[in-house]
Structure 1
Amino acid sequence: MSMPVQPTYVLVHGAFANSFSFAPLQAELGLLGHRSAAVDLPGHGFEATYPAAYQSPQDPVGLASTPGAIKGVTLADNVAYLIGVLERAKENGPVILLSHSRGGLTATAAANRRPDLIDHIVYVGSWCQVDLTAAGYHAEPEMASVDPASLGFAMAGDPAELGLLRVNFRTADEKALDAFRAAFLADGTDDEFRTFFNTFQPDENLDVGTEDDRAQAATWGRIPKTYVRLLHDATLPLALQDRLIREGDALTPDNPFTVRSLDSSHLKWLVDPGPAARVLADIADGVSRPTP
């Protein structure tokens, strides 16, 4: 009697984040019998730059001027790296590609290029650029509620000079911390908020892709897909999440999103991952296939 082959979840983090963000979720998935691999995109995780000036006592001048390893990293670099991971994962059975936040830019572009490596794609409060680029959506009414100063309060250095975005997540500025919490984890405790922000890295690359990186019906559109809405997301507002779903469905009406929802801010689902893990386990059960 053949046994089902469990899929591998490949997890793609968002901006300023890394594979560490997914550790609690991976534990929950593992306890439910599902395997996963969390990636660190180029310049993230142990490849990240943490300037000495970022440590306490901080040196604002040094923090604003120290070069960062992520300078020059492009969306194409992220996609090439992710495709390499997907190729390895696919050798062991079905693959479910999950992205969060800015990780959706990479996931969508990778799905355009290698749909054969992905059995299901999942977006959790994640960018899925269809009609516009990510930069284009930022100018749309659905993003009007997002405070553009939420990162600016703690911006370190000039992005044009550094060739990257650098944010001082270790700031003691109460105004900046209040803005961060409202944007990312308003439904978390003080300890949860501080703990998560201490997993963030200060640097992120500048490349958010071009028109060519938008979802393509002939490739991306062939992959079964799920969008998990985060109902209290202040960073990627629910109105924009719903717009991305509508645009994806219009692009591939014969292959619409399956839509699920979580009672979560942008980050709470990662802090308290039980509900998300159960949703993802249901998806994995539908993707499992029998062995020959």
Structure 2
Amino acid sequence: MSATSTLVFVHGFWHGSWCWSEVVPHVVAAGRLAVAVDMAGHGLYARRPQWFTEQPYNPEAVRTEVSPVADVSLDHAAELLTSQIKRIGGGEPVTVVAHSAAGPVLTRVAQRTPELVAHAVYLSAYMPASGVPAAAYTRMPEAADDQVAPLLQGDPAETGALRLDLATDDAAYRQRLYEAFYGDVDPILADAATGLLTPDGPIGIMLGTTTLTDDGWGSVRRTYLTCTRDMAIRPGVQAKFISEADAAFPDNPTSVVALDASHSPFLSMPGELAGIITPLG
């Protein structure tokens, strides 16, 4: 398929469709239709816990309050993305670019409705193997030095979310947040982005699994854009996704493009990222 299908951009946990706002204009200027959407539990679908705006600040509530997005599952997220793709593409296949935790959502959609996905593009995203939850990769040796896990608050099994404390005034915590997500992003821009984050990522998206088949996900063309300086999804984990996919579906190998970037190239190098994505059909 030629590079004429509409591009659909999907953000990762805690972010929203806003994070693609520097990329989409480059893509559209190059003559490609493109739109960014919000993932379930995020953006316009976000529901913030009480502690986030409650005064005075209550660190105990940060650790224990059950998330209002605890009921959002991988099924819910995939159903929402499928409906968005159908609306945007009018039934024609689209090219989907998934960042980070949007990866398992794209995988589920491509498995269930491969006819709707012309090309699955994973930008430093979770691309779990058949029957494996994305969360399992956070416990693998390759992920041992990721900088996101130490930032998470409370027990996800109790709160139902992967939670960031975005209400804290702890300068050291906020610096570690910057280093985990935005290490090569201008600090002023990174501060603005941090202000737009939502605190809870639904753990259900990371716990769901998808059984992959040759005529489902295995039949869809895929590209993986690695981020070599990523401190959230470490390069070793990214490599594991690619090797597992290629071992399972050797007749449809993953195309790989390396970016010298942190976890957020949509902010640090939007023009370069757009130049790589725009020709993908």
When the two structures are superposed, what TM-score results if normalisation uses the length of structure 1? Answer: 0.86
Larger C-alpha radius of gyration, 1 or 2? Answer: 1
Give, in whole Å, the separation in 2 of the partners of 1:7 and 1:66. 43
Unmatched tracts of structure 1, length 5 or more: 288-292
Residue 14 of structure 2 corresponds to which residue in structure 1? 16
Give the % identical residues: 28
**Structure 1 residue 52: deviation in Å?**
6.3
**Structure 1 residue 272: deviation in Å?**
2.9
Q: Does 1:72 align with 2:71?
A: yes
Q: Any conservation in 1 of the 2:20–2:266 contact (CA below 8 Å)?
A: no
Residue 39 of structure 2 corresponds to which residue in structure 1? 41
**Structure 1 residue 58: deviation in Å?**
5.2
**Structure 1 residue 41: deviation in Å?**
2.0
Residue 59 of structure 1 corresponds to which residue in structure 2? 57
Q: 1:78 to 1:27 in 2, by over 3 A?
A: same
Q: Any conservation in 2 of the 1:6–1:93 contact (CA below 8 Å)?
A: no
One-letter amino acid matched to 2:44: F
Tell me the secondary structure at the aligned position of residue 42 of structure 1. coil
Residue 185 of structure 2 corresponds to which residue in structure 1? 188
Q: Any conservation in 2 of the 1:71–1:164 contact (CA below 8 Å)?
A: yes
Q: Any conservation in 2 of the 1:150–1:183 contact (CA below 8 Å)?
A: no
Residue 266 of structure 1 corresponds to which residue in structure 2? 263
**Structure 1 residue 26: deviation in Å?**
1.2
Q: Any conservation in 2 of the 1:13–1:99 contact (CA below 8 Å)?
A: yes
Task: Give a deviation string over 1:101-147, Cα, whole Å, max 9, x none.
Answer: 00001000111110011111100000100163322222222112214
Note the 1:1-292 alignment, pairs <5 A: 6-50=4-48, 53-55=51-53, 59-60=57-58, 64=62, 68-91=67-90, 93-130=92-129, 132-147=132-147, 149-152=149-152, 155=153, 159-207=156-204, 208-211=206-209, 213-283=210-280, 287=281
Q: 1:236 to 1:77 in 2, by over 3 A?
A: same
One-letter amino acid matched to 2:252: N
**Structure 1 residue 225: deviation in Å?**
0.9
**Structure 1 residue 237: deviation in Å?**
0.9
Tell me the secondary structure at the aligned position of residue 203 of structure 2. coil
Q: Any conservation in 2 of the 1:143–1:236 contact (CA below 8 Å)?
A: yes
With 126-135 and 244-253 compared, the bigger mean Cα shift is at 126-135
Q: Any conservation in 1 of the 2:126–2:134 contact (CA below 8 Å)?
A: yes
Tell me the secondary structure at the aligned position of residue 278 of structure 2. helix
Unmatched tracts of structure 2, length 5 or more: none
With 80-89 and 141-150 compared, the bigger mean Cα shift is at 141-150
Give, in whole Å, the separation in 1 of the partners of 2:91 and 2:30. 19
Tell me the secondary structure at the aligned position of residue 196 of structure 2. coil
One-letter amino acid matched to 1:71: A
When the two structures are superposed, what TM-score results if normalisation uses the length of structure 2? Answer: 0.89
Aligned residues between the structures: 277
Give, in whole Å, the separation in 1 of the partners of 2:186 and 2:217. 38
**Structure 1 residue 56: deviation in Å?**
8.5
**Structure 1 residue 55: deviation in Å?**
4.1
Give the RMSD, CA atoms, in angstroms.
2.4
One-letter amino acid matched to 2:193: F
**Structure 1 residue 42: deviation in Å?**
2.2
